[in-house]
Structure 1
Amino acid sequence: MDIRGNASVPAPTGLPRAALGPVLGLAGAVAALQLALAGRYGFHRDELYFLSAGRHLAWGYVDQPPLTPLLARASTAVFGGSPTGMRVVAALLCAATVVLIALAARELGAHRAGQVLAAAGTAVSAMVLAVGHMLSTASFDLFAWAGIGVLLLRLLRTGERRWWVAVGAAVGVALLNKDLVLLLAAAVLPAIALAGPREVLRGRWLPLGAAVALLVAAPNLYWQARHGWPQLTVASGISDQDGTTNRLTFVPMQLVYLSPVLIPIWLAGLRRLRSDPEVRWARPIGYGYLALCVLVLVLGGKPYYALPPLLLVLAAGCEPVARRLRSPVRPVAALLVAALVNCLITLPVLPERQLAAVSWIYPESAEQVGWPELTSAVATGWEQIPPGDRARAVVFATDYGEAGALALYGPRLGLPAPYSGHMSFTDWGPPPDSATGPVLLVRPAPYPEVERAFTGCRQVALVDNGRGVPNEEQHAPVLLCSGPVAPWSVLWPRLRHSY
């Protein structure tokens, strides 16, 4: 088979011995580090949303399928309702991803040193550390895509088309977490048709794998269809709001998410997938990654959407780089530098008061600070409502993070359940029309469309996280309004927003 799948260069069938000891040691070390640091800051805004979504389990939500909220509920049920308890699953997924990328390197012919280099490179990359610290849809996505990548490599290497069933099952599970995996399919299948081995596309196994994927994902797809495919609206909103920024930052953020130290290995992987006859069968992985980058750029998606296949390209470069190494001193030193820098940026290493030093690079670190203080500020505003009026009063938040924080921390301060028009919080409302006010409104920035829905608003409190951490909620005003301008059932469609 030539480079376009027309001449015959059989893929190797044997595999080097797995470097289980050092790879599992690295994975365990990453998990231990993540768990040791998991509770140093508080919940992230997305985690607060997942906690609320986990209390409203469904086959779908306006912005995501059901898996991550289910994982949030399960993790907190088993390990406790603290940030550490919620993040056990994320840490385990992070460790599993390290192992999977090492297995991908093995599929590509890497021996012990190459497999260990793949595991170490994955373990120190900024994105892997970030998604392993807090539970997000990206936590499972990274793991799922890495697993799909290993299965695809096994399929391409052996030519055994029955592997399409396993690939389909993995894609179906990934679809229960996020629809982005469809972009991977849209990139890889044409790459196989272009670069070969085309034989794996023939016969009944690929359609059977697709049917398995649809069957596994069917409950969420049915939910989305019944609700008018709201995830498409959310995706369009993200593209409209952040598409230009995402496109301008795509290339530099790819390198930052990976780590500049690992760029030579990544480039070696691209070169190897393009020109090394020994891994010609794996060429669709390289082409697929490049095609995925084009798709993300066209759609205005977030740069990290293309990271999982980037790790597979990194895995391809580990064996040739490991062969050229004459001494482990320099690569170990470089990996340690990458680990230190990326841990400092993505993990809760710094004291909270010093977060401004890194939050301009990685804003998510600052979004883990100040939620109890926000709730206290809202409680201060609640105390200004006469007790006789509280039965008709409503607490309304413009953002799902604020609403999630109020749902978690509010009851101990005597606050009622919050309402919000953001994402799936909209589906868990509206307040009853008998709740004629007052309305306690918290919003991190001016939001005229929301404010016009209420009358007689005045500021009664100001959020201060007490550590000077600049984030979206710092110095957010809490407004006390006389009431809504119309019954909630009439206002609610106006208050819905998904970005």
Structure 2
Amino acid sequence: MKNTQNTTLIITLFCVINLILHLIADYNSGFHGDELLHITTGNYPAFGYMEFPPVIGWLAWIQNQFGSTSVFIHHIFAHIATLLILILIGLTIVELAGKSKAVFIALLCIMVSPGFDRSHQLFQPVVFSELFWVLSFYLLVRFVKESNNKNLFYLTVAFAFGFLTKYDIVFFIAGICSLFFFKNTQKILLSKQSWKFALIFLVIVAPNLWWQYIHSFPMFQMFSRLYETQLDKLSVSGVLGQLIIDLNPVTLLIWLPGCFFMFNNKSKATYRPLAVYITLSILFLALAKGKHYYFFSEIIFLIIFGSIWFEQTVLAWRRWLLYPVSTLFILTGLFLLPWGLMILPLNSFIRVYKLKKEENRYGIPDEYYTKSKWVKTMSAIKAVYDSLPAKEQKDCLIWGKHYSQAGAVNLFGSMYGLPKAFSYHGSFYLWAPGGKIPETVIGFTNGEATIDFFESYFNSVVAVKKVYNPYASFNKDVFQTIYICKSPKQSFDELKVLFEKRVFE
């Protein structure tokens, strides 16, 4: 009874601290570029999008009902998901016979990791995917302990909604083959009833699969582009090194032993199937050349086992070690925290870490500077728009080369009296207008494209303003250039055909 009370208290305490830190970060930060796309999907709820499944759009639709540009409003569901992740981690540890100290260490590992802090802060599919991975693992533990139709049904539904959140859940699902080799799960998986669960999964995900089919499976085009530009360039050592840094190197003291403990624990009937399952999932993800943050959910599972190992082995030997280890985690976490959560104002962050400009920029996380970046950009576009004759203003639209640019105009533009933006990048391709292009279009892009891009589609293109961003993470983002484009060479419908195979460029 006392352990249950302590565990509940620890989980509650971590949830409160976590929420406070994220709310402070909301106050100090702007939006990550990808968030501007995700927020826009809420204006077009559907069963799928070019880059990801539909759940993010459904959540965005709810948040968009507030009609707000507030970071807090657009992070509501991310914050809820984060708290649920912490709760599920605690519940999973208890299911695996861990006690309050194991829960404390596991949640501390999550809190002191800048990688988890940042991925849990942003309105992206990542945090919701992580939620369904952790929920699925919790239900998997219960299924392994008590293999019955009820637990298998819950696990099936979790898998299905995980699929509708982010396609990487397939690496978790792929590991299910390992359960056919263990007696306590083999019987029910080979039973005549098992086809019903496969059917349930297919029924839930069918609307998204149908959407992908009628849109010629854009997810494959996206994955192909990812491998072409990013994933094929990754190395095992590079991914592992970035993973260790992002998760706070000292947490390696917990999750690395967890790799071995899950195989050697005395409770083999429960632990061994889970250990093989996790190993297979990691292997499949590694063979697919996943980015380092794709492994975050798998690391949570290792942290769960590592925290139980720490409680049952290390603390059983020397209980007092809990205090220096916790202190080490907290001190390193406090040092790294501002790199994951924007708990410091921009200027304070630069001053505290003594950052210097390199190649004309500081190179810091986007959220620290995007609030001021978009104010400057919208003001510059407004000045260009106001310079146009009234006749041209009437029909003028804005072309953002990158989806974040079009998303920013559509989120903030009404405050500046700007017209709507369109783009052919990512899911914005689906929402591009049809018919005749206005005689005058304001185009803008960062360093990933030059004037040549717009000159391909207009007879007259003039660069009229540059917006300098000294904090940019990448060189291509240091300047945004605004163009006045006139005399289009084609219609919107013809543009859509031209960009059909270039959506992710």
Shift of 1:143: 0.9
- Could you tell me how far apart the structure 1 residues matched to 2:112 and 2:72 are? 21
Contact 2:443 2:454 in 1 (8 A): no
Change over 3 Å in CA distance of 1:224–1:355 after alignment to 2? farther
- Could you tell me how far apart the structure 2 residues matched to 1:288 and 1:247 are? 24
1:441 aligned residue: 443
- Could you tell me how far apart the structure 2 residues matched to 1:118 and 1:455 are? 60
Map residues 363-402 of structure 1 onto 2, 5 A cutoff: 365=368, 370-402=373-405
1:490 aligned residue: 494
How many residue pairs get matched? Answer: 481
Contact 2:262 2:271 in 1 (8 A): yes
SS of match in other structure, 1:462: strand
Map residues 425-440 of structure 1 onto 2, 5 A cutoff: 425-433=428-436, 435-440=437-442
Map residues 349-364 of structure 1 onto 2, 5 A cutoff: 349-353=343-347, 360=363, 362=365
Map residues 82-101 of structure 1 onto 2, 5 A cutoff: 82-101=70-89
Contact 2:24 2:343 in 1 (8 A): no
- Could you tell me how far apart the structure 1 residues matched to 2:93 and 2:364 are? 30
Paired letter, 1:445: G
SS of match in other structure, 2:468: coil
Structure 1, unmatched stretches of 5+, are 1-15
Shift of 1:200: 4.7
Change over 3 Å in CA distance of 1:238–1:451 after alignment to 2? farther
Contact 1:64 1:178 in 2 (8 A): yes
C-alpha RMSD of the superposition: 2.5
SS of match in other structure, 1:370: helix
The answer on 1:214 being equivalent to 2:220 is no
Change over 3 Å in CA distance of 1:338–1:163 after alignment to 2? farther
1:190 aligned residue: 177
Shift of 1:76: 4.5
The answer on 1:30 being equivalent to 2:18 is yes
1:457 aligned residue: 461
- Could you tell me how far apart the structure 2 residues matched to 1:493 and 1:151 are? 46
Aligned partner (choices 124, 130, 134) of residue 142 of structure 1: 130
2:252 aligned residue: 263
The answer on 1:336 being equivalent to 2:330 is yes
Change over 3 Å in CA distance of 1:27–1:72 after alignment to 2? same
- Could you tell me how far apart the structure 1 residues matched to 2:274 and 2:488 are? 55
Tell me whether 376-385 or 147-156 shows the greater mean CA deviation. Answer: 376-385
Question: Identity of paired residues, percent?
Answer: 20
Paired letter, 1:243: L
2:282 aligned residue: 293
Shift of 1:482: 2.0
Aligned partner (choices 190, 195, 211) of residue 202 of structure 1: 190
Tell me whether 414-423 or 268-277 shows the greater mean CA deviation. Answer: 268-277
Kindly provide the CA deviation profile for residues 168-213 of structure 1, in whole angstroms up to 9, marking residues without a partner as x. 1111111221111111111x21332356653353214543333222
The answer on 1:282 being equivalent to 2:246 is no
1:422 aligned residue: 425
2:478 aligned residue: 474
SS of match in other structure, 1:459: strand
Aligned partner (choices 161, 164, 173) of residue 152 of structure 2: 164
2:358 aligned residue: none
Tell me whether 401-410 or 204-213 shows the greater mean CA deviation. Answer: 204-213
2:413 aligned residue: 410
Map residues 112-123 of structure 1 onto 2, 5 A cutoff: 112-123=100-111
- Could you tell me how far apart the structure 2 residues matched to 1:355 and 1:52 are? 30
Tell me whether 71-80 or 215-224 shows the greater mean CA deviation. Answer: 71-80
Change over 3 Å in CA distance of 1:373–1:201 after alignment to 2? same
Shift of 1:86: 1.2
Tell me whether 235-244 or 442-451 shows the greater mean CA deviation. Answer: 442-451
- Could you tell me how far apart the structure 2 residues matched to 1:147 and 1:183 are? 15
Change over 3 Å in CA distance of 1:257–1:468 after alignment to 2? closer
Contact 1:238 1:301 in 2 (8 A): no
1:306 aligned residue: 295
Structure 2, unmatched stretches of 5+, are 356-361
- Could you tell me how far apart the structure 1 residues matched to 2:366 and 2:40 are? 22
- Could you tell me how far apart the structure 2 residues matched to 1:459 and 1:354 are? 35
